[in-house]
Amino acid sequence: MSELISEHLCFGGVQRFYRHASQAIGLPMRFSVYLPPQAQTAAVPALFYLAGLTCTEETFMIKAGAQRIAAQLGLALICPDTSPRGAGVAGEAEHWDLGLGAGFYLDASQQRWATHYRMQSYLTELHALVNQHLPVIATQTGIMGHSMGGHGALVTALRQPALFRSVSAIAPICAPTDCPWGEKAFQAYLGPDRQSWEQYDASCLMRERQTPFPAGILIDQGLSDQFLATQLHPERLEQACLQAAQPLTLRRHMGYDHGYYFIASVIEDHLRFHYERLSA
């Protein structure tokens, strides 16, 4: 299915890093997989994790400490890279919040980016690839993410509910059409028509739906997050969920910031949240 770059035993399971030729992106892409020990004898539920700005397919697997709990539960973890690599787009490495490491999990429509920056289509492709070649249960797949990846998880779940049965996020960008990170990326990738941006805004998408995830959505947000006031706007999604009659657990944590120390502090709750819903 793809080239195995490295493999490491971990909590009785195996941590792998892959590279494959992506049709959606038109370039080689990397992703990581953790298979718990239970996957040696039977297919298991799977959770996709979408990482944030500047991260790669390695960041979550190295920093979050998720494998220990995934091994206990029997839950596979899949983490794609955050953007194409080697696209050769002029200026793609000039800004940390645009281009490399900042694909925003959307399909770009502007000519400069449209050929390779197709991360939303790539998630569909990767979902199919993983379910075809790895011991995971296609009908028991969830998605979560952090920051830009939290935005990506929420948007992807709302756009593709047939693929993902559960969704959660940690410090997500909840209203990218109205924050500096989102405005910069959407202007570049999608062009000046702000109405077209709404297809990748979780708060906008939620207002168009009625209880899309009856079993609920879990979001954790640190109150000492340096990006909370200007970039994340969880209150926008909270209001949209209320309007859509969508059960939402939005937990606000005193003292926690935006980084992986916070992710590591709440990751067990998220894995258990998904496992309960995927195994029901």
User: Which residues form the catalytic set?
Assistant: 147, 225, 258
Return the amino acid letter for 182: G
Q: Is 146 helix (H, G, I), strand (E, B) or coil?
A: strand
The distance of Cα 247 from the centroid of its chain, to the nearest Å, equals 20
Pull the structure tokens for residue 71. Answer: 């091994």
Please say whether the beta carbons of 168 and 274 come within 8 A: yes
How many other CB atoms are found less than 10 A from the CB of residue 9?
Answer: 9
Core vs surface per residue 21-35: b (16+ CB within 10 A) or e: ebebbeeebbbbbbb
| Cβ-based neighbours of 160, under 8 Å, separated by 6 or more | 123, 124
| Cβ-based neighbours of 104, under 8 Å, separated by 6 or more | 119, 148, 151, 152, 176, 182, 185, 186, 189, 200
Return the amino acid letter for 202: A
